[in-house]
């Protein structure tokens, strides 16, 4: 019943406001929690750092606590909505939403950066209807910068009390493109991703590896990079950031599945999109990379 309905502007705006509110609260909590867990940057890794898919894929107490906070606040603000989080999964038998809205959450995107004290991690909160993102927010944990979007209503950045509308760069030549990417925790997939970077690097301006896909996608929207591509991203990695990029004018390509099969996610400035996609095809980057 809810799968294909179009939201009204007030509905989309309300969902964006919820995403912004909850993501900001979680980011503020995580920012304060890091000092409690690790002390000052460079003081060593806390023993409460566990691992997930591989020994290089960490999860901290702050990840799980942030997700618990977000779930609790969404339940208060949006009773009846479904929830999917990176750390705790979905709601089980309660996962069927009574409202048609499903929240997809990454409580800390860029956990490795968070562990090391590098200022490039974010909280990502997105609302989806019928499998498509309709509202979302990505909050940079270190700076508090808030990227947000609602379907059909544009993308915005709010920092230091100033809110601006986002538009991608007008670049058209791949040779002048600054390209962001990221790497899997799977050693097999990482090896192939390294080969692709080696093939791409001589044909673009430069490569950036920030370590948080949600921020990469928002950087495309803000014109801080011209394109982003990455294999194997899960929905919580891109659910909010891809909407921000698309609403800023980016041409976005999303994986059909959960990310396990290694499909590519792409967000690219519109003037650059045709030639950049051709370039990705030429080096074999459009093919999925299995684990």
From 137, 110, 112, 141, select the one nearest 124 (Cα to Cα).
137
Percentage, residues of the chain above pLDDT 90 = 79
Confidence bin at 87 (pLDDT 50/70/90) = confident
Between the alpha carbon of residue 86 and those of residues 57, 106, 206, 288, 289, the distances in Å are 13, 6, 31, 22, 21
Q: Which of 243, 236, 244 is nearest to 147 (CA)?
A: 244
Render pLDDT for 6-24 as a digit per residue (tens, 0 to 9).
Answer: 899 999 999 999 999 999 9
CATH number corresponding to 174-282: 3.40.190.80
Looking only at the bridges linking them, the beta strands covering 155-159 and 146-150 are antiparallel
Query: Binning pLDDT at 50, 70 and 90, where does residue 47 land?
Result: very low
Q: Kindly state which CATH superfamily the domain 9-165 is placed in.
A: Fructose-1,6-Bisphosphatase, subunit A, domain 1 (3.30.540.10)
Mean pLDDT taken over the chain: 90
Q: Could you give the CA distance from residue 187 to residue 134 in angstroms, rounded to a whole number?
A: 34
Q: What is the pLDDT of residues 221-271, one digit of tens each?
A: 999 999 999 999 999 999 999 999 999 999 999 998 877 899 999 999 999
Taking the domains of the chain in order of start, what are their residue ranges? 9-165, 174-282
Contact 135, 114 (CB under 8 A): no
């Amino acid at each position: 019943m809810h799968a294909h309905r179009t939201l009204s502007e007030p509905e989309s705006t309300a969902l964006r406001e919820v995403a912004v509110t909850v993501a900001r609260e979680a980011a503020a909590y995580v920012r304060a929690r890091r000092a409690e867990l690790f002390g000052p940057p460079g003081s060593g890794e806390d023993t409460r750092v566990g691992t997930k898919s591989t020994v290089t894929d960490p999860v901290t107490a702050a990840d799980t606590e942030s997700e618990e906070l977000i779930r609790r606040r969404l339940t208060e603000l949006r009773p009846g909505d479904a929830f999917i989080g990176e750390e705790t999964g979905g709601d089980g038998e309660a996962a069927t939403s009574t409202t048609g809205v499903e929240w997809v959450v990454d409580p800390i995107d860029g956990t490795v950066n968070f562990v090391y004290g590098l200022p490039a991690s974010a909280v990502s909160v997105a609302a989806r209807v019928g499998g498509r993102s309709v509202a979302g927010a990505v909050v940079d944990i270190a700076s508090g910068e808030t990227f947000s979007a609602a379907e059909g209503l544009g993308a915005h950045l709010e920092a230091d009390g100033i809110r601006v509308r986002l538009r991608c760069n007008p670049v058209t030549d791949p040779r002048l493109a600054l390209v962001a990417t990221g790497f899997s925790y799977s050693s097999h997939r990482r090896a192939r991703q390294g080969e692709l970077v080696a093939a791409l690097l001589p044909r673009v301006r430069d490569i950036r590896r920030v370590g948080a896909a949600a921020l990469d996608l928002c950087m495309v929207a803000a014109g801080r990079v011209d394109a982003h591509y990455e294999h194997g991203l899960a929905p919580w990695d891109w659910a909010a950031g891809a909407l921000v990029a698309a609403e800023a004018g980016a041409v976005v390509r999303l994986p059909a599945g959960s990310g396990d099969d290694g499909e590519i996610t792409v967000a690219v400035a519109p003037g650059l999109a045709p030639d950049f996609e051709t370039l990705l095809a030429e080096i074999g980057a459009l093919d999925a990379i299995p684990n």
